[in-house]
Structure 1
Amino acid sequence: MISIQLPNGRQYEFRHVVFDYNGTLAEDGRMSDDVRQLLAELAAKVHVAVITADTFGLACQELAAMPGVELLILAKDQDGTEKARHVQEWGAERTVVVGNGTNDQPMFFIAGLKICVLGPEGVSTGVLAAANIVVRSPADAIRLLLQPKRLIATLRA
């Protein structure tokens, strides 16, 4: 669990982290070694799910040896409601979502914490507007979650 106590008394307790894959964790379908290592560290603390339409077809291969990471591959015609359905099932208020694309927007509307990754693929303006935090890379997003005191300065009222 990731627990954060804000100075205004608000308490966050996150048990799930949901990632988009392409443009968020991976660039052109491939994850960096740094992201792979950080993701494994995070999966040792909380439930980690990667929900993707897998544009490049490499998610299974790239995540095959990742203990504790649940991979859900969606049909190519999904509009993001399936991602939101999973977030709702796991408890939206206890879930962090990390993404960048239009099909991430439905889960961004309901999750307890939304982190937008502004990487080489760019960001959907809807996701950007719904985000609580914007970071430059997937490694930055995961490090925030591994060192949750960093979130206090950004999220305090």
Structure 2
Amino acid sequence: MEINIPGRGTIKIKNLLLDYNGTIACDGKVIPAVKEKIEAISKAGISVHLVTADTHGTARNQCANMPIEIQIFDNSNAAENKREIAQKLGAENCICIGNGFNDGQMFEACSISIIVIGTEGCSAKSLMKADIVCKNIEDAFELILKPKRMIADLRG
């Protein structure tokens, strides 16, 4: 997917990086609309990657039937791990969505970053690093599926 943002140029989105808890899940359980939206994003030609320390230990089971690559890592280096994954995938071709403090480095690395406030809230420090703020994951996914909304938010 290519998005031409006036003042920023054309961004070729190949990958979506998603945080788990507080972003696509609440208390370790996937939010109901998530599966359908991830399937639609995948059908649009964007590879979806779940990057998480998996606080509740439920990510693999909850996301088993989704077109998503799951990467779970140790809690102690979550922020660095997320940034490194973005860089390995080509951060200039990545959009990311998260809500926590450990998403801040990923936000800085990716071309477009979206923070969701959601039921679990969000990190104020990461909020300041995000390009776009959404009240929930459904709205964040709609920005990707309807990119003119994103263009309106980000144009220079």
| TM-score, length of structure 2 as denominator length | 0.94
State the Cα RMSD in Å.
1.2
Unpaired runs of at least 5, structure 2: none
CA distance in 2, matches of 1:74, 1:33: 25
What is the aligned partner in structure 2 of residue 54 from structure 1? 54
Give SS of 1:78's match.
helix
Partner residue in 2 for 1:63:
63
**Aligned equivalents of 1:138 and 1:9: distance in 2?**
24
Amino acid at match of 1:84: R
Pairing 1:13-52 to 2, within 5 Å after superposition: 13-44=12-43, 45-52=45-52
Is the 2:15–2:47 Cα contact (8 Å) retained in structure 1? yes
| Aligned residues of 2:19 and 2:99 also touching (Cα < 8 A) | yes
Aligned-partner SS, 1:116: strand
TM-score, normalisation: structure 1:
0.94
Q: Which runs of 5+ in 1 are unaligned?
A: none
Identical pairs, percent: 36
Would you say how many aligned residue pairs link Structure 1 and Structure 2? Answer: 155
Note the C-alpha offset of 1:111: 0.9
Secondary structure at 1:80's aligned position in 2?
helix
Alignment of 1:110 onto 2:109: yes
Tell me the distance in 1 between the aligned counterparts of 2:31 and 2:91: 28
For the Cα contact (< 8 Å) 1:3–1:148, is it kept in 2? no
Confirm or deny that 1:77 pairs with 2:76. yes
For 1:56, the aligned partner's letter is: H
Q: Provide the residue aligned with 1:129 in structure 2.
A: 128
Aligned partners of 2:51 and 2:71 also within 8 Å: yes
Q: Secondary structure at the match of 2:128?
A: helix
